Structure formats: structure tokens, C-alpha cells
Structure 1
């Protein structure tokens, strides 16, 4: 069984590498992803969202900064900001609930501005 810390480390590493299969290894089959865009249920819906997101982040000019990381038992919280060719992510935060080595719930809140 993986710890909350190691699952988050793997998730961030795979996102940084734009490795969709690696990202999806971290999610329970019945995971839930909640954001202002709605609720995604299960790995098929979550995979589709990440596939779209990685198209934007898979560019050598992307700048990503992890500003805060808090781990408490099965909960992980991160604050980050990023700049891609298409958007500026001025402030973003994710909360993860990780049980038995898998992400069972993730939330995302972000202040995103499109670039002109």
C-alpha cells in the first residue's frame, strides 16, 4: 500500500511528464473528480479530462510552480500556478483523498485567464 505522500509524488511527477497512463495509475476505478466544470465519475471520464488538459500542458514553454503542499493522513492539498501557451493559471488548488494507495476523490479550483 502506498502512502498519501508517495501517491501525490507519483501523480505530480506523471503530470509533469504529461504521462497520461502514469497519471491514471493513481486513481481508483470509481474515483470522483470535482471542479467548477462539474463532477467526473470513474477513470474513463477522468482520463478524458486529463487527455485534453495534457494537450495544453505538453509544451516546452509551460511554466508550472508548486507553491504549497500539505499532507495530513489520507488528505493531500496543493496550491500551484502555471502559464501555458493558451492560459495563465493565476491560482489553483487541488485536494486529494487517497485511500489504499489510490486517489478516490480530487477537487480542483483554479483562476484561469485565456491569453489573447
Structure 2
């Protein structure tokens, strides 16, 4: 799969809070770096997304993609969202995708509690 196909798959999985689908994009060597910590391997990454989906599955939650840029095996997105708990004013993720797998991801965001 191409970088674009993996990115689209990942965004669809994220916006539908489909944990099984999102986990298809990672493997045991994957790393996700955030301001909440670094998550390595499938178990830690699954725990991260379980917590995220607990929040984004609440009624009235949204996530909207503003921009994406792809260069080779690297993808960059900007998005914003709302949940009953937080306002995600500006969020960005960068992905390195190799052989159909997200091997490295970073996240940063302006997240304000309501």
C-alpha cells in the first residue's frame, strides 16, 4: 500500500474509532511519540488509542482534517476537533510509513479542557 493509502486508512479508522482497524497500521516495532509519552509496540499503542477512542466516541465529538502533505514515506496532517471534554484547536501528526506500516508517528496539539 502507498503512503497515501495507509494515511487514508488510518484517518478513517481514527474518525470511526475502530481500534482493530487502526491497529492494522502498526507493528511491534512501531513507535508513537506524544506530549503524553512515548508508546512502543502494539500493546502500548493499543492502550493509547483505547484512551483516545474513549474520549472521541462520546456524543458530539468531531475530528476534521484540515491539511495533508505526503513526501515519499512521510505524511504530515493538521486537524482539529471537539469532544465534550476538550477543544482540539490545532493538532498535527507526522507519520513515517514503511512497507505498509506506520513505523514512527509524532503528535502535537493545542488541546484545551472545556
Using the size of structure 2 for normalisation, the TM-score is 0.97
Shift of 1:63: 2.1
Distance 1:64 1:14 in 2: 12
Q: Is 1:16 paired with 2:6?
A: no
Moved more, 29-38 or 72-81: 29-38
The gaps in structure 1 that reach 5 residues or longer are none
1:56 corresponds in structure 2 to: 55
The gaps in structure 2 that reach 5 residues or longer are none
1:102 corresponds in structure 2 to: 101
2:78 corresponds in structure 1 to: 79
Distance 2:27 2:95 in 1: 12
> Deviations 1:56-82 (Å, cap 9, x if unpaired)?
101231122111100110000000010
2:3 corresponds in structure 1 to: 4
Using the size of structure 1 for normalisation, the TM-score is 0.95
Deviation >4 Å, runs of 4+: none
Shift of 1:30: 1.0
Shift of 1:5: 0.3
Distance 2:35 2:14 in 1: 20
Shift of 1:37: 1.5
